Structures are given as C-alpha cells and as structure tokens.
Amino acid sequence: MKGVIIIKYEKSVAAIGGATVYMANEDGQDYIYSTDKTLGFKGVSTEYGIKAECNHENANVLRRLFPYTAPSRVLQHDKSFGVGDRLGVAAVGHIKVFERYDAYPVLVQQSIRELNLTHRTYEDVLDCVTYTVFKTGYKKGFGADGDHLKTEQDIQYALGLGFTMITLDCSEHIITDIDADFAVPQATLQRYADKFFEIEDGEVLSFDKEQLKQISMIYDDAIAFAADIYHKYIKGSNADFEISIDETATTTTPLQHFYVANELKQKGVNFATMAPRFCGEFQKGIDYIGDIAQFEKEIDIHAKIARYFGYKISVHSGSDKFSIFPMVAKATKGVFHVKTAGTNWLEAMRVVAAKDAELYRQIHKYALKMFTEAKKYYHVTTDITKIPDIDSLKDEDLPKLFDQNESRQLIHITYGFILDEYRGQLYTLWGTHHVEYEKALLTHIGKHLDLLGVPLISLK
C-alpha cells in the first residue's frame, strides 16, 4: 500500500490564539490545517484538529483570521504596480518579484472581459491569491483591482468581495459625436472663462471658449457618471478609486485631463489615480510605438496635473513598454501606478515553448487559425506574415518567438481561444514547471521595475 504524501508549506505556518494554522499539499491537492476546530474552517476532523479544502468559504475565514491574506489599499504607496494573474498560477512568481523590489503589487487585477475569456470568477481570482499569499508567508500587502468596470452591478460585485481598488472605465460616457448646439453650462463657464491655472513651475493652463465647449461636450457625461458611482459606492468603502479615460480613439490633451480632474474635485470625488490616454500606441504585450520625445513632453505635463490635484498617474497596457518607463519614472518623480496583464500570460507561454515543443507547435498553429476572429476584440497592427514558419524552426528556437512583436501579439490576443482548447494540458505543464515560470516572471517583471527606477529591497 502506498502512503499519502504530505508536503507542508513551511512559510505558511501561522499562530493564532493558542492554535496553529498552516497549508500543506496532500497527494497533489492543497489543504488548510488548523489545530483548533473552532476557528471557522469547514472540513473534516482529524486526530490533530481540522483539515479543510481550499474553497471560497475557507478563504473568507483565512482573510478574517490573517488580514495579510486579504487585499489592502496599495495605491497609497508611491510606487504601485498591477500584475494581473489571469491564469491563477502566477502569484508565487509575482510575490517573489515584490519581495525583492520596493513597490507594492496589485496581485488581483482582472477586467470582466478577462473573467469571461478565462471562465473565471472574482471569487476564484481573489481566493487563488489569498491562498498563495498564505502559503508563501508574504506579509507586505497586495491590492485587488476590479479593472475597467463599467456597470454598477460589476462594481458591487467587486466591492462585495472586499476588492480594494475600482477602476472605473468611463469610455462609454465619453462623447465623440460633435453636437453643434451644445451649450456650456453657466457654472462651468464661470469656473474657466478668463482663468489661469498655474499647475507647477510656471506651467499655466487656460481655456478659450471654443476649447471649453469642446471639452465640456466630450467629458461632462463621463464626469457625471464617475461622480455618481463615487457617491453611491466608493465613498465610505475601503477601496481606492481610479478614473480611466484611456479607452478612447484620441489622445487626452493636458487641458482635457485638467478639466476632468478639476470637475471631479468640484463634485467632491476623491480618487487615487487617473489613466489618461497618452500619445502613441500602447498595444498589448509589446514596446511603445510612437514618438518618444513627444511622449516625454506630454507625460511631464500629465504628471504635473496629477501632482497639482494630489493623485497618481496610472499607465495602462504597461506590459513591455520598456522604452518609456524611464520617462514615466522621471516625470512622476517616482510616484505612479502601472498596470500589466498580457505579459504575464506571454511568459507562461514562453515556458510552454521551452518545455513542450510539440504542444507549443500545436497551439501556435491553432492561434494562427483563430487570429482573424481574435483581432475583432483588440487594436493591434500585427502583420502575421512576419512570424517565421514554425515548421522551419528548431525546438530550441521556439522560445525566441517571444522576443518578436508579431508572434507575441499572435499569442496574446488569442489567449481566450488557446485556453478553451488546451486548458488541461497547459495547467498540467505549468504545474510541473512552476519554478521556470517563477524565474521567468522575476526576470521579466523585474525588468519593468528596474526601468521604472524601483529600488531593490536590501536583502538581510
């Protein structure tokens, strides 16, 4: 008869009252063990206490007993960084990154679209991180971001689970059709006509009548929407508020940015971060495309506006934007929030290419087949004819595909299709090769943080 293999996670061992709680892996399955049966965990009695499954109810108990396993408000720190663990397997690697770098992570960060494409729930996304945090004994804190939320229902869903950040996507309330009959409200006119706003270092903003009319027409509905959401749900909650006006076709000008912030403050809205739409292209999973000198000029003014009002600039689609990170760091004086998501998925797929060439080849061909369909949901300029023919590549060259923009974008935008088709095989592989994935994340997310000027924590 074969014995049961139990591997205890040494770093999870935690004391509460006179009891000990820890996690262990028993024949491939993680469980929580508690020496005290009355702490609230639901499970089976053992000789030593209780053995409980890692489900949502028990995760709630864990978060109540050990607050470091629950999300907290990390945007309050100067440097915060979002790493969406789309798959539920990246958190161990992410934690290693933030044990080394002096920035605070948002480990839970998903949009509703990501939930739909991965067939996950917020409960699942949050619980995965809670258990990983407990298992690894990570106590520095992490945020949970309901990312790009657009409806009251979704906001209530995220807040109900204790999410500590809500990113409000205002894009559907940003008006793009010109209304010739639009009249600027009288009170707005009074706030801006003939006024000069000195934001910093002699940088002065002022609005002429035509500019004011344009801006008021485009943004007033979005501002009203954000104010309504804030007063209904965010005020009095334990969540930071991020205003996202980045999902638009045109760049946010400094005047537009100032106006939105000023009007929100006028309406008593407190927010921690704002994501304008910067110049150039922030395509998923690849470096910045555009005029870097222009970006440097614009981020400088955006950062000044943010400081003037006392919030942080948030840079979305931050995956792999290596060429502009030093400018973000400089302009914001090291006070920023940056979000990444796709790159964490791409690193997971790089591991697949390195460890199972046959599987990767199949997935790659499947992605090519699904590319046109996937492209409907993303703005990318990928020229897939630039991707080398995979049949001509040697196995050992497959991971290098992830150094090339076109193949990165191919695998990035088809992730929902890939997961639907290869889920079981992929998760088995990531389970076996989790150490490689942790190393890949440490290197790759580490590179983001290095270029953003995030210092290392001195190792004791």
Site residues (vs Zn ion, CB under 5 A): 246, 316
C-alpha to C-alpha distances, 294 to 52, 147, 280, 300, nearest whole angstrom: 56, 28, 9, 10
Nearest partner of 162 among 270, 238, 234, judged by Cα: 238
Let me know if 242 is a catalytic residue: yes
* CB-nearer residue toward Zn ion: 34 or 332: 332
Minimum CB separation of residue 273 from Zn ion in Å reads: 11
For 175, residues 6+ apart whose C-beta sits below 8 A from its C-beta are 217, 218, 219, 221
Q: Which of 85, 114, 145, 147 is catalytic?
A: 147
Judge whether 143 and 107 are in contact, CB under 8 Å: yes
Identify residue 147 by its one-letter amino acid code: D
At residue 183, the 3 state secondary structure works out as: coil
CB of 317 vs Zn ion, minimal distance in Å = 6
**Residue nearer to Zn ion on the CB measure, 246 or 438:** 246
Rounded to whole angstroms, how far apart are CA atoms 109 and 166?
10
Q: Are 271 and 197 in contact (CB under 8 A)?
A: no
- Decide whether 316 or 321 has the Cβ nearer to Zn ion: 316
Query: Of the two residues 220 and 246, which places its CB atom closer to Zn ion in the complex?
Result: 246
Minimum distance from CB of 247 to Zn ion (Å)? 5
Q: Report the 10 Å Cβ neighbour count for 248.
A: 17
Q: What are φ and ψ of residue 45, in 5° steps?
A: -70, 140
Among 145, 169, 242, 298, the one annotated catalytic:
242
Residue number with CB closer to Zn ion (69 or 319): 319
Provide φ and ψ at 241, rounded to 5°. Answer: -110, 130
Residues with Cβ within 8 Å of residue 27, at least 6 apart in sequence: 4, 5
Cβ-closest position to Zn ion: 316
Which of 328, 326, 205 lies closest to 261 in space, CA to CA? 205
Q: What is the closest distance, in whole angstroms, from the C-beta atom of residue 87 to Zn ion in the complex?
A: 20
114 is catalytic: no
Give the nearest distance from C-beta 167 to Zn ion in angstroms: 8
Residues with catalytic function: 147, 242
